[in-house]
Amino acid sequence: MNYTSESIEKAIEIFSSFPSIGKKTAQRLTYFLLRQDDSFAEKMSKVIIDLKHNVRFCSICFNYTERDPCPICSSTKRDRSILCVVEEPNDVVSIEKTNDFYGLYHVLHGVMNPLEGISQDDIKVVELISRLHDVEEVIFALNPSVEGELTTHYIAKLIKPFGVKISRIASGVPMGSSLEFSDDATIARALEGRIAI
């Protein structure tokens, strides 16, 4: 395409490599940038560079952090005997928003997927096991996908010998919805995961 510039094309290419951004949105973002003052572009490049320079993994829970250990891991107010295992850093944000969990986290950075050749060595499983010495309970909060389920039960098998209490979050009928509008698959799985009252 010779009616735009090489710089514009490069910018579009970069933007469209973002998740959920297609060619058209990438174009819109590029033209938006061109309309802004120079200071905007400078500020933005600095933000991006700082992001990459300052943010790293917490050496304990593998969440993103600017200081190691992260604020959650170094907090004295949290219950250090409970560990919540999640797939990705943004899952920590989802659970923190509930203000209902006061334990610590462990971010796996993915789930196992034999079909795609992702094994336990590709995610933070060894790191999880090395944290178990003063932990009493491990709660799995992975996504309810086949791979999440496989990973949960696989790791549960691995850590059973450590004598910790192991659980996974419940799945079933969502809050605010009623049984009437739930399909039979959801209800049947919710029945399987029923709890004593």
Radius of gyration for the chain, computed over Cα atoms and rounded to the nearest angstrom: 22
Q: How far is the CB of 94 from another protein (least distance, A)?
A: 19
Q: How far is the CB of 181 from another protein (least distance, A)?
A: 9
DSSP 3-state of 97: helix
* Residue 82 contacts residue 137 (beta carbons within 8 Å): yes
* Residue 167 contacts residue 139 (beta carbons within 8 Å): yes
The residue to which tokens 């944290």 are assigned? 131
| Out of 149, 171, 172, 190, the residue judged to bind another protein by CB under 8 A | 149
| Out of 113, 127, 143, 164, the residue judged to bind another protein by CB under 8 A | 113
189 near another protein (CB under 8 A): yes
- Residue numbers 22-41 binding another protein by CB under 8 A: 22
Q: Which is nearer to another protein, 51 or 187 (CB)?
A: 187
Q: Helices marked H in 17-170 — which ranges?
A: 23-35, 38-54, 71-74, 89-97, 125-129, 146-159
Judged by the rule CB under 8 A, the positions of this chain that interact with another protein are 22, 112-115, 117, 119-120, 146-147, 149-150, 153-154, 157-158, 183-186, 188-189
